[in-house]
Amino acid sequence: MPKKTLKQLQVNKEWCKGCGICVAFCPRDVLSIKDGKVNIEDIDSCIECGQCELRCPDYAIYLGGKNK
């Protein structure tokens, strides 16, 4: 199911500054902060709403990868 893979939640820990905005506003509690960085806690609950990506100030979390 490549389409599903493309939309999957991606995290770039190097860019994450650990502000916690994505964690706080995730409607399904998918995320947590671990060692100062965002961590995907429960990917199965993710509904791919993209709220985290919209509000991440650091472009460290997003849906899908690069379309190649």
**Site of interaction with other proteins (CB under 8 A):** 10, 12, 14-15, 17-21, 23-25, 53-59, 62-67
Contacts of 8 (CB under 8 A, 6+ apart): 43, 46, 48, 63, 64, 65
Closer residue to other proteins, CB minimum distance, 27 or 65: 65
**Minimum CB distance to other proteins, residue 48 (Å):** 13
Give 22's DSSP letter: H
**Minimum CB distance to other proteins, residue 1 (Å):** 19
